[in-house]
């Protein structure tokens, strides 16, 4: 949503992401240096630690990074919008092997610039074409990832209202 200041725009996105994360962890998201200030550079949101532990027999933890730019709202140039510039969400098994990783990196060094999924060693998929592949996806938000983790991978939610929270409209993509 458009906000009056760059900091308010970033705070709104961060709060939405943090609310989703609170369904499975008390870990806190942090903003990159200068990430509350407008400019052309890419900023990011991430956890302060590398892998955040999740309570599950299958999933040991999650890594998350959400990069963005702060842009003027095309409708109201005084307002500011956070525009997602890419993301990386990965679920790891209890031995820290990657199970799945959702990527979108339109500005990286990979020729794959559309959103996709990687199946990691923790997925225990034997077919090489799949483990090396970039499985196409739509744009995925943190809420969608965590719904999948809870419903299909046995991650234990920390709050009773997780369905309502994760069903809420996603963070801006």
Partner 1 sequence: MVARSRTKKSKAEAHHPDELTPEEERALQEHEAQKYLGISADEFVRRWHAGEYDGVDDSRVLGLAMLFHFA
Q: For partner 1, which is the closer residue by CB, 28 or 164?
A: 28
Q: How far is the CB of 99 from partner 1 (least distance, A)?
A: 11
Torsions phi, psi for 74 (to 5 deg):
-60, -25
Distance in angstroms (rounded) separating the CA atoms of residues 154 and 152? 6
Binding pattern to partner 1, positions 83-122, x when CB under 8 A? --xx-x-x-------x--x-x-x-xxxxxx-----x-x--
Q: How far is the CB of 38 from partner 1 (least distance, A)?
A: 9
Q: How far is the CB of 160 from partner 1 (least distance, A)?
A: 26
Rounded (5°) CA angle 17-21-24? 165
Is 28 an interacting residue with respect to partner 1 (CB under 8 A)? Answer: yes
Distance in angstroms (rounded) separating the CA atoms of residues 84 and 61? 23
Is 7 an interacting residue with respect to partner 1 (CB under 8 A)? Answer: yes
Distance in angstroms (rounded) separating the CA atoms of residues 123 and 97? 9
Distance in angstroms (rounded) separating the CA atoms of residues 52 and 63? 6
Is 29 an interacting residue with respect to partner 1 (CB under 8 A)? Answer: yes
Cβ atoms of residues 154 and 58 within 8 Å:
yes
Q: For partner 1, which is the closer residue by CB, 6 or 157?
A: 6
Q: For partner 1, which is the closer residue by CB, 93 or 118?
A: 118
């Amino acid at each position: 949503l458009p906000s009056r200041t760059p900091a308010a725009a970033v705070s709104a996105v961060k709060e939405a992401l943090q609310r989703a994360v609170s369904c499975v962890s008390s870990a806190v998201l942090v903003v990159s240096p200068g990430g509350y200030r407008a400019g052309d550079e890419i900023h990011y949101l991430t956890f302060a630690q590398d892998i955040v532990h999740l309570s599950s027999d299958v999933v040991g933890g999650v890594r998350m990074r959400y990069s963005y730019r702060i842009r003027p709202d095309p409708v109201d140039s005084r307002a500011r919008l956070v525009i997602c510039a890419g993301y990386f969400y990965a679920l790891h098994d209890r031995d820290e092997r990657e199970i799945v990783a959702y990527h979108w990196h339109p500005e990286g060094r990979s020729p794959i610039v559309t959103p996709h999924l990687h199946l990691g060693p923790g997925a225990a998929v034997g077919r090489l074409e799949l483990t090396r592949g970039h499985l196409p996806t739509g744009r995925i938000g943190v809420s969608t990832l965590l719904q999948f983790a809870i419903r299909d991978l046995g991650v234990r939610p920390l709050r009773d209202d997780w369905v309502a929270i994760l069903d809420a409209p996603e963070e801006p993509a």
